[in-house]
Structures are given as C-alpha cells and as structure tokens.
Amino acid sequence: MLLFGLLIASASQAQDVLRIGTTALPPTLGNPYRNTGTPHIFTWSATFDGLTRIDATGTLQPWLAKDWESVDQLTWRIKLRDDVTFSNGVPFNADAVVSVLDYLTSDAAVREAVAREFSFVRSSRALDPYTVEITTKIPAPHLPRTLPLLHMVEPGQWRRLGPEGFSREPVGTGPYHPTKFSATKIEYDAVPTSWRKPTIPRMEKIAAPEAYARTQAVMAGQMDIALALGPEEADAIADAGGQSLSWPTAALWAINFHHGRGNPLDDVRVREALNLAVDRQGLIDGLLAGKPELPTQPATSVVYGFDPSLPPIPYDVDRARALLAEAGYPDGFSFFMQGVIGSGANDAAVFQKVAQDLLAIGVTMEIRTFPVAQLIRSVMEGEWDGDAFGVTFASEPTVDVLRPLRNHSCLWVHPWYCDERIMPTIEEALVTFDENKGLALRHEVMKFYREEWVALYLYQIVRFAGTRANVRGFSEVNGFVSYEDIQFVEE
C-alpha cells in the first residue's frame, strides 16, 4: 500500500510525467562511474551519453564520437560531434573527454568500476576542440567498443563539486536532468536543448523491488512502464489492456561454480554432468514463454566473438549419471547455491526447476537467497558462503565475449574461476589488432569455457516489460534506453 500511496497521480499528470518502475536505483545516485551492471545501467542513458554505442546486431556505431582511427597500436584519434551541449548549456568538446579520462586514470577513481575498464589508458589530450588523442599502455583494439562506458559529465560541475557532490547534482548531455533523489525515486526534468530532445516534460524512475507491485502499478495507471518482469506479469498487463514487451540481450544466465574448493565441483566430469541434467528447453518453454535461445557457450549469438560452430548443450540424463559415477559420485552429492531473487524473469522458479532436474541424477542443490547488494559485495570482495551462485555472463555494453571474462577468469582480483591454461589466449585476444586472429582467439576461448563446463549455462537472457496502452517508443539495447523516443499517444 505504501508503494501505491507514493505513486498516486491524476490522469492529467500522467500525460506530463513518464513513470518507469525498476527493481532498484543506483546507490551512487548520479555518479555514472561506480556501477556498470543492471539495473543501474538503464538509468545512466537518461542523463549521460558515451562516445559510441553497440546496436541490436552487436555492431559498433558512432554516438558522441562520430569517427575514430588507430594511429598506431598505442594511439587512438577520436573525432567528436560539434553540436552537443550539456544540460547546463556548456558545450561538449574534447576537454570534457580529457577531463573524464584524467579522473578515471587517477588514484582518486580507485573505487569506480568504470576506472577498471579503462586501466589500459596511459593519457589523453585534446588536439583541437573536437579531436581527442588517447594513448594506451598496451595495444587496445577493443577501445572503441569500451567507449559506451565513458559517460560524459560536465567537467566544470565535476571539478566544483567532486564525485560525491556531483552525484547529487549531475549534469550530462542526455534528454533528462535529475532534480531530486530519494530512496525510492529519481525525479527528472526534460532537457529541451539536448541533442536527444525528449517529448515528455518530466520523468520519474521508481524503485519497486517486487515484480508483482510493478505489474499492479501499471495496470492501475500508476506507472507507465514496468521493467524486469516475468512473462506472466507482462502478459497480465497486456490482458488488462496494456502492452507486453520482450527482447533479447547480450547476456547469458548461469549458475557459477566456485572452483578450487576441494569439492565435487572441481571435477570437470561433475560440471558436465550437471549441465547435461538440466532440461533447458522445458525450463524455457515453461517459465520464459519459449523466448530465450538455448546456450552453447558463455555468450549470446549477437556478441562479438561468439562461436557459431558450438552446438546447443544436450539434455542427457543417462550420460549425466554415467559421468557422476565415473567421477566417483554414483549416489550424487549435495551443494548449496546463493541466488538473488527478483532481478530476473521468474528467477526463483528457474532456480527451483534446475534443482528439480538435478535431483533426477541424485544431486541436491540447496537454494539460499541473498540480496543484490550482497551479491555485488561478494563479487568485489571475494567473500562467498555457497558452492555456487547465480549471475550473468554479461557482455553489455561492449558486446564482446571478452568483457564478462574480466570477472569470470584470472583477470578478476577475487576470482571464483581461474585457469591459467586459457589466460595466454585471453590476454592475446585483448591486444591483437588483426580482426581475423582476434575472432579465432575468441572462438578458442569460448570452446575452452564450453568444454571445461566452467558454469551451469542456462539460457540467453530475454528481458520482459509491460507498458500502459498509450506508451510508444520504448526500447532498450545493450543497456541503453532511448528515453527521447518514448511518447504518449491518445488512448
């Protein structure tokens, strides 16, 4: 009831305010450098822009940068748009890019997740008002695909207020400017001078952790868009006269194993057995409206470096039992998995379905839920209670198979999986400018992760949302929401 009390609005207000329900708001308010994952990444594109974007096919596209070239293996030259201003009227130019990179490569940015993404940058300088030269410490052929993460902040505001002050009074180039932050809501005003001019005067991003609450709010006319739903909730909105939306992503859902703990999961035969024991098609058809594609590797089919030659993972209970027996576990074993509930489509039911399938080969997977804040803390600090945990292989927003391996390999400071045998291949793939060789190396990495059964790969993630009937133009591609395209039409 508290949620609905916060959301009550008149019909006339609804045409002036776009209200979007999501699972959580960024804990760092308007600082776009502290968090890079979902759901926080959906918030940044309301206020900020990166230099490039990746489209729905995985193709690199210009954005605030209109062109780029590698001068040599350690030097990139980037041409910027000359028709963009920040929401406070200050022109966007090369000095803004240099200011951001100076911060992210400084000791002051040690806590920023985005700073780790640009650790390969040595320096940057403005060659003219709309040309930036970036020098790297190592060859960085992936730089253009990393630039969606380089969100532009107005340098004067950043210098005056510092990161903490700026987080409460952010200034970017996007279509909406935040005016008020609270624990459950961010309020925005449209920026009519934005190069991405919006059509709706105001917007609210509302945190409502339960999918049921977001669904009911849309059906009651108290939200216009509800994100992160399951197919049943989206269909319920459609049945009530609204719209059900779904779209594929560049992320794969998995249950990740903690390796090297001296338990059965250290044996590749056991990990393969668990993968073979899960009826993925039944899970997809029964819980996800048949929408996701079956997994073949820790990447989705639109991601750069995806290996199309790898076949789907079969469902073979007999082979799974034989592998367990061969590994010395004919009667199975038990392990427990930590899982965040409420952040993905039907995630609680998905975990239960996996546990049910594993019981058929004598394996008991105990599910223990924990909040997303604890998941983030565990990833960052390496403190885990379970033998496994649910998390994505998320290639957004760079849409490169190597991006999730910055966490799912020895590259991570607190790795849950680290196999030195594949590291030379990963490291070579990160620095080679030869596109054919780079693709071949990425395919080699994908084949290794498939054959080592590094995780229990479940499905290529599809996102579900629901909107009121009068909403048009909503889309989300690789974490970027085109807020300027959303509009109301007469019902």
pLDDT for position 409: 96
Segments of the chain with pLDDT less than 70: 1-14, 342-343, 491
Please measure the distance between the N-terminal and C-terminal CA atoms of the chain and give it in whole angstroms: 27
Q: H or E stretch including 460?
A: strand 455-467
pLDDT for position 10: 39
Architecture (CATH level 2) of domain 249-462: Roll (3.10)
Query: Which superfamily, per CATH, for 2-47+174-242+468-488?
Result: Periplasmic binding protein-like II (3.40.190.10)
Residue spans per domain, the chain: 2-47+174-242+468-488, 52-158, 249-462
Q: Which of 296, 302, 459 is nearest to 392 (CA)?
A: 459
> Strand pairing partners for 176?
190
Domains 52-158 and 249-462 equal at CATH topology level: no
pLDDT for position 210: 86
pLDDT tens, position by position, 272-304: 999 999 999 999 999 999 999 999 999 999 999
pLDDT for position 381: 85
- Quickly list DSSP for 257-319: E--SSSSGGGSHHHHHHHHHT--HHHHHHHHSTT-SPPPSSSS-TTSBT--TTSPPPP--HHH
52-158 topology per CATH:
Dipeptide-binding Protein; domain 1 (3.90.76)
